[in-house]
Every structure is written in C-alpha cells, then in structure tokens.
C-alpha cells in the first residue's frame, strides 16, 4: 500500500480527532463595568454554519440580535442546520461582573463553538465568539471575547425605550440606569456597514442633553468584554 504523504496523514489525523462528539461545561463572565448582556446563544456547529463573520454584512438574524437582543431568528437558523445549542443560560440579562454556566453536548461533526449576545446600552453592539475549534483533548480553556458592531445601525447613543426592532434607530434600554435623555445624537450614519470590532461608546456628562444619552464614566468600555471558560470532558 502506498504511504500517505506526511501532510495528508496529519490532516486526516486532525479530522479524525476533531470530528467526535464532546461534553462541554461553559462559563461566561461579563467583564464590563456598566454593560448588560441580553439573552445569550451558544452553538456548536460545522465550519459552514457560522452565526457571524467579521468583514461581511450581518444577516437579518444577526441584526435582530444585535439591535434588539432577539435570538430567536438565530436559534431557528441553528436548528435548521442541526447545530447543538444552549439558549439564554442566564435566564435574562447578564449584569456587569456576573457569570452564567451552561453544559453542552455536541454532535459528531459539530466541531466549532460560537456565541452571541447584544450589549446594552449600545445601538447594535454584541459580544461574540466566531467558530472556535473545540479541542479534542480534555482540559479547561480560557478565552477573552471582544465586542463587535453589526454595522446595521448608526451608533447615535440615544436611548429610546421600546425600540430594538430592525431598522428602528435608538438604543432599546439602559438596564443599569445612569442614562440621560434628550441627546442630539452622536451620529446619524454608519460608515462601516460590515461586522467589525466595536469602536466603543463615547457618552458625555450631560444627563439632560448633550450628544449622547450614555454616561461617559459608566457606559464606556474597552475590549475584551467577556471571559469564556470551557471545560472539555
């Protein structure tokens, strides 16, 4: 029998090791001072069913999550692709410095892990993990997650209670309080309409006007915004 080239043999070995099912314990910690995470969606999937891709336009399902915290369209897509998932493990909002736990059993072939949740208060910001390959070796792995901008809504930083529907400008809520009112808006347009690293909130110190309804000492943040600890059994 002809010997396989070393590179092909190695590729076959990796495929064999990473195609098996896995048992995962997952802990997500909100690292921010003043941002809340909306209901979280965690999926295990193949390399062909990502929830989002940087430098590409957001899907309608991703837009619904990023602008209003609605994960149902993403859940429907995940179910149609036979992904394994955990939805809303925190049973609502995940407050600053708080953690939530989840367990996930992956199916054979679903070798990649992704995660999304909207950040409040932002216009269309979300914490994200895109297609992390699940290790075949048992152990505990720690990842730090960035915040992304869906590129679907201008970051006007105006808090408009009850918004969050696709195409409706404004931040739907500021759950931790400390938000102002009557802001003129930081911007009315979005120059980068692809999914990209979020530039962060600007805020101001005028609770009754100014350009932003967000507080520049509470709602500003830098990446990373979350820590994800994954135990592969």
Fold classified for 23-232: Immunoglobulin-like (2.60.40)
According to the model, what pLDDT value does residue 167 have? 85
Q: Is residue 11 over pLDDT 70?
A: no
pLDDT in tens, 165-208: 898 999 999 999 999 999 999 999 999 999 999 999 999 999 99
pLDDT in tens, 76-100: 999 999 999 999 999 999 999 999 9
According to the model, what pLDDT value does residue 8 have? 37
**Residue bearing the bigger pLDDT, 162 or 144:** 144
pTM of the entire predicted model = 0.91
According to the model, what pLDDT value does residue 82 have? 97
pLDDT in tens, 169-179: 999 999 999 99
HEC string for the chain: CCCCCHHHHHHHHHHHHHCCCCEEEEEEEECCCCCEECCCEEEEECCCCCCCCCCCCCCHHHHHHHHHCCCHHHHHHHHHCCCEEEECCCCCCECCCCEEEEEEECCCCCCEEEEEEEEECCCCEEEEEEEEECCCCCEEEEEEEEEEECCCCCCCCCECCCCCCCCCCCECCCCCCCCCCCCCCCCCCCCCCCCEECCCCCCECCCCCCCCCCECCCCCCCCCCEEEEEEEC
């Amino acid at each position: 029998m002809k010997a396989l080239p070393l590179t092909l043999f190695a590729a076959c070995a990796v495929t064999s090791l990473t195609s098996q099912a896995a048992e995962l314990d997952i802990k997500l910690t909100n690292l921010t001072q003043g941002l809340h995470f909306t209901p979280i969606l965690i999926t295990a999937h193949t390399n062909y069913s990502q929830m989002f891709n940087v430098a590409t336009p957001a899907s309608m399902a991703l837009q619904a999550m990023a602008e209003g915290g609605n994960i149902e369209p993403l859940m429907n897509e995940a179910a149609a692709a036979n992904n394994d998932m955990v939805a809303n493990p925190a049973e609502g909002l995940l407050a600053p410095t708080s953690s939530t736990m989840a367990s996930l059993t992956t199916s054979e072939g679903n070798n990649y892990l992704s995660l999304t949740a909207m950040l409040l208060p932002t216009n269309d910001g979300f914490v994200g993990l895109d297609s992390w390959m699940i290790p075949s070796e048992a152990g505990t792995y720690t990842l730090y997650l960035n915040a992304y901008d869906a590129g679907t809504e201008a970051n006007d930083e105006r808090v408009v209670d009850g918004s969050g529907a696709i195409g409706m400008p404004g931040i739907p809520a500021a759950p931790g309080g400390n938000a102002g009112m009557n802001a003129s808006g930081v911007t009315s347009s979005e120059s980068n309409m692809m999914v990209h690293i979020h530039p962060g909130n600007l805020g101001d110190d005028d609770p009754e006007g100014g350009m932003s309804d967000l507080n520049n000492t509470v709602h500003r943040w830098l990446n990373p915004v979350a820590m994800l600890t994954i135990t592969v059994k």
